[in-house]
Amino acid sequence: MRVLGIDPGLTRCGFGVVEGVPGRAPTLVDVGVARTPAELDVARRLVMVEVAVEEWVRTHRPEVVAVERVFAQHNVNTVMGTAQAAGVAMLVAARHGQPVVLHTPSEVKAAVTGSGRADKSQVGIMVARILKLDAPPKPADAADAVALAIAHVWRGPTLNRYAEAVAAHARPARPAGHARGTRVAR
């Protein structure tokens, strides 16, 4: 499975592509960061993020795009920019027909390090160890994007099956004799 991980952000948007299957160490395909200048207005910066995501999706043709789920931080401006960049990433992936999954930072940390409370340096070190790299990808946004992709390779199929089972169970059962589009005489 080829996964494009995206660590969304307006200043730096991290990208990481890995290939792998659950239970085995994945292979790094590519890693990088798109930067936007803070002096530009938000709309122009979002266009720059869109262009970068478009290029990564077209170049690497992932089977799935894993985006970090935005969570509330203390700085509302940072959260807004991150959420807007995440929305752009999801839009581009959907436009290309790619499934999009969201993973929380703690899910990713737990998958890669074994602890949902790991710090950025621990995530980077484990990404390097898992992929047999000499050093973690830089900057941290790039390492986080690769960690997202790794987490999805390892946990995504299980999460997808779980979500499908929950959805199937949540559907109301039809009483006997009640087929779709038919009425029962009373």
Residue 134 in marked binding region: no
Q: Identify the bridge partners of residue 32 per DSSP, sorted by sequence position.
A: 15
| Alpha carbon distance 146, 123 (integer Å) | 10
3-state DSSP assignment of residue 33: strand
For the beta sheet containing 27-35, the strands, ordered from the edge strand earlier in sequence to the opposite edge, are 27-35, 12-19, 2-7, 64-68, 100-103
Q: Identify the bridge partners of residue 34 per DSSP, sorted by sequence position.
A: 13
- 10 Å CB burial of residue 120 (0-12, 13-18, 19+) is middle
Count of positions (residues) in the chain: 186
Residue 141 in marked binding region: yes
- Determine the Cα angle at 125 with ends 119 and 128, to 5°: 140
Closest CA to 70 of 130, 123, 140, 6: 6
Q: What are phi and psi of 154, to 5 degrees?
A: -80, -35
Catalogue the active-site residues. Answer: 7, 68, 141
Q: Which residues are annotated as a binding site for Mg(2+)?
A: 7, 68, 141
Q: Which residues are annotated as a binding site?
A: 7, 68, 141
